A and B are shown apart, each in its own frame.
Chain A
Amino acid sequence: MEDKDLIAEISSIRNIMDRSTKFISLSGLSGVMAGIYALVGAWLAYKLLYVTDDSFIVRGYYRLLEERLILIAMAVLFLSVLTGVLLTLRKAGKKGQSVWNQTSQSLLLNGALPLATGGVFCGIMLLRGHYEVIAPCTLIFYGLALVAASKYTFGDVKWLGIFDIALGLLAAVFPGYGLFFWAFGFGVLHILYGTIMHFKYDR
């Protein structure tokens, strides 16, 4: 056996190990889009919260405001997931890879537990009227989900998760600025990371 063959053999082993454990069809562009949706959502929420004439804030209105904020959050979540799924399907299709396999299942399963826990927890906090914990909690649980899922995809995702957790903890230290931390974590960081991932892996 030649030296070159040996090295090719070893690199093929490493390649197959990587591909067997990591889902690499995640689209970087979908991260950018999710970030843009989050920023638009945050801007709408900001207008609702702070640019409203005080005289309008009466009991009945307050209830409506809350519902509108939840509606915005749901729309951002729905659009982000939809874009993510569509762009990932497209990327996998281009590369001739399947999207529903052992790695994508591990990815979703591992990410889903912290994410669902956080979702339910935030729902309970909303119902009990603890609005100030929503921004830190969504950031922290989302970050934990990313870290948990990162084992099954690009390692960079882990760092995005760690930054989101750190931002969530900071948001808990500065109550009242939740929306800004939220916009930074879900908006700016997503756009930044999506761009990095796009240029690193998608081309």
Chain B
Amino acid sequence: MKVTLTNFDKAFENRIRLQIMSVLVANESYDFNSLKELLDVTDGNLASHLKALEKEEYITVNKSFLGRKPNTRYVASALGVQAFKKHLQELENLIRQQRG
């Protein structure tokens, strides 16, 4: 059965990006290293997906220092949370459509 994908968010087409967003929606904020470990991805891979989400203004970046070590934390923006919810709703609709 053919289903429409018009309402799907292009930013979430990639699974890693969708997973990053899931983590940030469920948590107040998350740091780079914890994200990397959780999603089991490489530094470069994670950085490029974060950059893409940042460009969409779905997440904001807080850079600070813990002692001498840089600590980069990511926070989902209101726009990002909204987009994530819409995407989930769309997934749900698709399932209903296919079963209906």
A21 to B30, CA, bound (A): 10
> Which residues between 61 and 107 of chain A lie within 8 Å of chain B, taking CB atoms?
98, 101-102
A6 to B19, CA, bound (A): 14
Tell me if B's interface is mostly helix, strand, loop or mixed. Answer: helix
> Which residues in A have their C-beta under 8 angstroms from that of B38?
16, 19-20
Any B CB within 8 A of the CB of A3: yes
Any B CB within 8 A of the CB of A17: yes
A20 to B26, CA, bound (A): 8
Complex contact B19–A16 (CB within 8 A): yes
A3 to B19, CA, bound (A): 19
A6 to B91, CA, bound (A): 7
* A-B contacts at CB below 8 angstroms, number: 49
Complex contact A17–B26 (CB within 8 A): yes
A17 to B18, CA, bound (A): 11
> Which residues between 1 and 47 of chain B lie within 8 Å of chain A, taking CB atoms?
3, 5, 15, 18-19, 22-23, 25-27, 30-31, 34, 37-39
Contacts known (A1-B94, A10-B91); A16 close to B34, Cβ less than 8 A? no
Complex contact B27–A12 (CB within 8 A): no
Any B CB within 8 A of the CB of A9: yes
Encode B64-92 as 1/0 by CB contact (under 8 A) with A.
00000000000000000000000010011
Encode A129-159 as 1/0 by CB contact (under 8 A) with B.
0000000000000000000000000000000
Any B CB within 8 A of the CB of A120: no
A102 to B73, CA, bound (A): 11
Of the candidates B5, B23, B34, B99, which one forms a contact with A17 in the assembled complex, judged by CB atoms under 8 Å apart?
B23
Least distance between A80 CB and chain B CB atoms (Å): 28
Which residue, of B15, B25, B34, has the highest number of chain A Cβ atoms within 10 A?
B34
A7 to B94, CA, bound (A): 10
Identify the closest chain A residue to B35 (Cβ): A20
Any B CB within 8 A of the CB of A109: no
Contacts known (A6-B91, A6-B94, A102-B34); A16 close to B99, Cβ less than 8 A? no
Tell me the B residues contacting A by CB distance below 8 Å.
3, 5, 15, 18-19, 22-23, 25-27, 30-31, 34, 37-39, 88, 91-92, 94-95, 98-99
